[in-house]
């Protein structure tokens, strides 16, 4: 059929000559290439000692942020849990008592906030959904562990350290 | 001498096991051990070349092929009850005929002294080669032609018939 | 005298056995290191400096793994398979001459366990027995993939034994002896190495050695892409370790055989021109033999990480339609050259 785009190229495969048919020159060429790779620079990064620099939009472990006074920003609105495509986030909200104003910024706060790191796909939708700028995926790689229950991260692991 | 009787006992025992083993693969494995005891016999007779050739050709090649073919066939399920009476009777008659022939031929053979060789070094490669290529040249070449014709026959059998007949 | 002889052979056998296992053990590390280096990585480097304790760690892991014997398998043969594989791999090194004589005062030690006058054929026989370990193990596992692996191993080994034997026949026509010791002695110096007389034979032998040791590009019996794990699909723990270890021992033995048959064994260039004493020549000779062996082991690994696996029909085509005719042509050519040389 006539080519419509005029970009079609017919690849002509010449029959192999003697040296190509005995394959040995090609094998030696390939072996020379692999041998040269022995002296090339190694790409390995020795992980625990050396860490690769993350890119600007890297999404790692979640952290729940505090405001400038050291109060937790999260108001337990549930938008992050709603937006999560993997349904990894659960939370239980509670009302702020008197005298806790320096702990929680809003009148409602998350008493329990859990992310199942085995479910999380690190898409960053919770980050985008959050109206209070409380959750960011700016941590390191989530470490490995032995038990499934240890992958459910609570507030003890997620909330940022206090200011002082 | 006692070593010979021990190894001979082993070869007879494993040869019997070849027949009595229910599973054909086990039969072949016993046959391998039987051939291994034959190799020991050859070594006891100082026939190193024959020992090694028996080792390579029988144990290393022919029985591997036996095992190879047996593995293709699904013989795990017992199908022994399917054999008819006729098969059993004909098998018995054929076996008896073989036994009679064997006994008859044994009787005509003169009893030789199996352990004392006239020439102890006959089994070494050099002497064997010299004898093979001078004294027994004709039978040697004839047997090679026999093998060649067998090979050609096997190839012809394996080759597919051309369709346009 | 009798006791001294027994002790000498016992020590020699022990040393050879330990060396074989040691080389095989570190071949596993070398394989991973070389694989890493050829792919711009560094390979294992955590266990000890440069990872030299890695084989011990691997071995310990293998020993402590759970051992699983499938209920539907044939229990005795299932265990016999790997045992046979490692047994046949180990006995091959008995006839290889590791060096010349060592003289202690008036006691002379021959650095070869035994010099039978059918040495090459013995090695050939042992190699051909090696397939039984694979076949029995694969059949006894009662698994389709294992069985397929076993069948492949059988037909591959049978097919490649023929050109291997034919290439050895051409070599024997040149050397005129079957004893490995005499073959080594004939190749003293550098110009007498058999590789100069039998380059084609060596190439055929090399390819067949790859096939007989089940190394890539001929590792079809354990081809992961088609057969899960091939003949050792059902194996775990140290029984799997034995199979893998047997492969490395086979590699070591076939490297030693190639070095002895074609590359002069313990001979090295100018060995008698340097004015060294006999013991020193022997010691350097042993080191040279091991250098050659290590080069071949490196070559096995180098090829493994360069060339992709063959397809099964390609494997059979190469064996039957290329290597066997080539090997026969090699025999005819060698015969013609020898006859012409005798006439002149």
Mean per-residue pLDDT over chain B, rounded: 81
E-only strand ranges, A1-73: 63-64
Q: How confident is the model at residue B42 (pLDDT cuts 50, 70, 90)?
A: confident
Q: Minimal CA–CA distance to A77: which of A98, A101, A102, A107? A: A107
Residue B98 counted as domain residue = no
Q: List, for residues C149-174, the tens digit of each pLDDT value.
A: 888 888 888 888 889 888 988 888 88
Note the pLDDT tens digit of each residue in C282-295. 888 888 888 889 99
Q: Which of C125, C131, C175, C180 to mutate to test the interface with B (most CBs of B within 10 A)?
A: C125
pLDDT above 90 for B7: no
Contact C135 B67 (CB under 8 A): yes
Confirm whether B110 is domain-assigned: no
> Hey, is C31 helix, strand or coil?
helix
Of B36, B53, B62, B67, which to mutate for an interface test with C (greatest number of C Cβ within 10 Å)? Answer: B67
Structural contact between residues C56 and C62, judged by C-beta atoms closer than 8 angstroms: no
Q: Which residue of B has its CA nearest to C118?
A: B49
H helix intervals, chain A: 18-21, 24-37, 79-83, 125-129, 155-158
Between C103 and A142, the more confident residue is A142
Tell me the chain C residues in contact with residue B68 when contact means C-beta distances shorter than 8 Å: 135, 151, 154-155, 158
pLDDT computed for residue A164 by the predictor: 66
State what percent of residues in chain A have pLDDT above 90.
14
* Average pLDDT of the residues in B4-9: 86
Q: How confident is the model at residue B93 (pLDDT cuts 50, 70, 90)?
A: very high
Q: Enumerate the residues of chain B whose CB falls inside 8 A of the CB of residue C150.
A: 71
Q: How confident is the model at residue B96 (pLDDT cuts 50, 70, 90)?
A: very high
Q: Is the pLDDT of residue C120 over 90?
A: no
Residues in C lying within 8 Å of A, measured between beta carbons: 34, 36-42, 302-303, 305-307
Segment among A156-160, C50-54, C97-101 with least mean pLDDT: C97-101
pLDDT band at C36 (very low <50, low <70, confident <90, very high): confident
Q: Are C61 and C251 in contact (CB under 8 A)?
A: no
Taking a C-beta distance cutoff of 8 angstroms, is the pair C111, C286 a contact? yes
More confident residue, C93 or C295: C295
Phi and psi at A94, nearest 5°, equal -145, 160
In-domain check, residue B18: yes
Q: Report the C-alpha gap between B64 and C159 in whole angstroms.
A: 11
pLDDT at B78 over 60: no
Mean pLDDT of B70-88: 69
B80 pLDDT above the threshold of 80: no
- Give mean pLDDT, residues B103-132: 71
Return the minimum-mean-pLDDT range out of A80-89, B151-160, C327-336.
Answer: B151-160
Q: Is residue B104 part of a domain?
A: no
What proportion of chain C, given as a percentage, has pLDDT over 70?
100
- Mean pLDDT score of chain C, rounded to an integer? 85
Mutation to test the C interface, candidates A23, A44, A48, A50, most C Cβ within 10 Å: A44
pTM exceeds cut of 0.90: no
CB atoms within 10 A of CB B87: 10
Q: What is the predicted pLDDT for the residue at A146? A: 92
Q: pLDDT at position C267, please?
A: 80
* Domain CATH number, residue B45: 1.20.120.1200
Residues C292-319 pLDDT 10s: 899 999 998 898 888 888 888 888 888 8
pLDDT in tens, A112-122: 999 999 999 99
Instruction: Give the pLDDT mean for C65-86.
Output: 85
Number of domains in chain B: 1
How sure is the predictor about B142, in pLDDT bands with cuts at 50, 70 and 90? very high
DSSP C184-234: HHHT-SSTT-HHHH-HHHHHHHHHHHHHHTT-TTS-GGG-HHHHTTGGGTT
Residue C45 has pLDDT above 90, yes or no: no
Domains of chain A, each with CATH number or no CATH: 63-158 (3.30.70.3270)
Residue B11 inside a domain? The answer is: yes
pLDDT in tens, A116-145: 999 999 998 998 999 988 898 888 888 888
- Which chains have 3 or more CB–CB distances shorter than 8 Å to chain A? C
Determine, for residues A35 and C303 on separate chains, whether the beta-carbon distance falls below 8 Å.
no
């Amino acid at each position: 059929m006539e080519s419509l785009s005029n970009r079609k190229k017919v690849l002509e495969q010449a029959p192999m000559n003697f040296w190509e048919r005995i394959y040995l020159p090609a094998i030696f060429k390939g072996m020379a290439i692999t041998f040269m790779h022995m002296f090339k620079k190694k790409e390995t990064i020795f992980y625990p000692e050396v860490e690769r620099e993350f890119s600007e939009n890297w999404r790692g472990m979640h952290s729940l942020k505090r405001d400038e006074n050291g109060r937790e920003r999260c108001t337990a609105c549930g938008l992050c849990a709603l937006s999560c495509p993997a349904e990894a986030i659960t939370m239980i909200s509670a009302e702020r008592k008197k005298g806790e104003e320096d702990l929680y910024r809003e009148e409602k706060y998350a008493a329990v906030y859990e992310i199942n790191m085995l479910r999380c796909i690190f898409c960053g939708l919770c980050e985008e959904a959050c109206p209070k700028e409380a959750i960011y995926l700016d941590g390191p790689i989530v470490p490995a562990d032995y038990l499934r229950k240890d992958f459910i991260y609570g507030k003890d692991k997620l909330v940022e350290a206090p200011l002082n | 001498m006692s070593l010979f009787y021990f190894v001979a006992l082993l070869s007879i025992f494993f040869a019997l096991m070849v027949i009595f083993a229910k599973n054909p693969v086990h039969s072949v494995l016993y046959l391998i051990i039987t051939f291994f005891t034959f190799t020991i016999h050859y070594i006891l007779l100082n026939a190193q070349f024959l020992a090694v050739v028996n080792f390579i050709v029988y144990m290393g090649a022919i029985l591997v092929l036996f095992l190879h073919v047996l593995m293709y066939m699904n013989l795990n399920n017992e199908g022994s009850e399917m054999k008819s009476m006729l098969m059993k009777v004909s098998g018995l008659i054929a076996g008896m005929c073989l036994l009679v022939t064997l006994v008859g031929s044994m009787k005509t053979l003169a009893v030789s002294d199996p352990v004392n060789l006239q020439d102890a070094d006959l089994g070494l490669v050099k002497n064997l080669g010299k004898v093979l290529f001078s004294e027994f040249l004709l039978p040697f070449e004839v047997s090679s032609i026999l093998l060649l014709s067998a090979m050609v026959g096997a190839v012809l059998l394996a080759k597919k018939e051309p369709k346009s007949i | 005298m009798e006791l001294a002889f027994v002790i000498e052979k016992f020590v020699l056998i022990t040393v050879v056995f330990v060396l074989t296992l040691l080389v095989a053990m570190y071949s596993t590390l070398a394989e991973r290191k070389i694989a890493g280096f050829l792919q711009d990585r560094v390979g294992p480097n955590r266990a000890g400096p440069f990872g030299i304790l890695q084989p011990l760690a691997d071995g310990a892991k293998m020993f402590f793994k759970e051992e699983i014997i499938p209920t539907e398998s044939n229990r005795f043969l299932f265990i016999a398979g790997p045992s046979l594989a490692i047994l046949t791999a180990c006995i091959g090194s008995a006839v290889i001459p590791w060096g010349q004589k060592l003289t202690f005062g008036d006691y002379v030690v021959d650095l070869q366990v035994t010099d039978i006058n059918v040495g090459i054929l013995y090695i050939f026989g042992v190699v051909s027995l090696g397939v039984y370990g694979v076949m029995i193990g694969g059949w006894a596992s009662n698994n389709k993939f294992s069985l397929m692996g076993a069948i492949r191993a059988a037909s591959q080994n049978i097919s490649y034994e023929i050109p291997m034997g034919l290439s050895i026949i051409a070599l024997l026509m040149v050397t005129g002896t079957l004893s490995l010791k005499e073959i080594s002695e004939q190749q003293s110096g550098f110009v007498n190495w058999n590789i100069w007389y039998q380059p084609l034979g060596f190439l055929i032998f090399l390819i067949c050695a790859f096939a007989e040791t089940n190394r890539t590009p001929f590792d079809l019996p354990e081809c992961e892409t088609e057969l899960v794990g091939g003949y050792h699909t059902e194996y775990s723990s140290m029984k799997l370790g034995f199979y893998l270890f047997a492969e490395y021992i086979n590699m070591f033995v076939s490297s030693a055989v190639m070095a002895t048959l074609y590359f002069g064994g313990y001979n090295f260039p100018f060995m008698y021109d340097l004015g060294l004493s006999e013991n020193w020549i022997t010691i350097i000779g042993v080191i040279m033999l091991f250098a050659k062996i290590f080069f071949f082991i490196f070559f096995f690994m180098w090829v493994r990480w360069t060339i992709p696996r063959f397809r099964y029909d390609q494997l059979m085509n190469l064996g039957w339609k290329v290597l066997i005719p080539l090997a026969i042509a090699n025999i005819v050519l060698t015969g013609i050259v020898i006859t012409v040389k005798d006439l002149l």
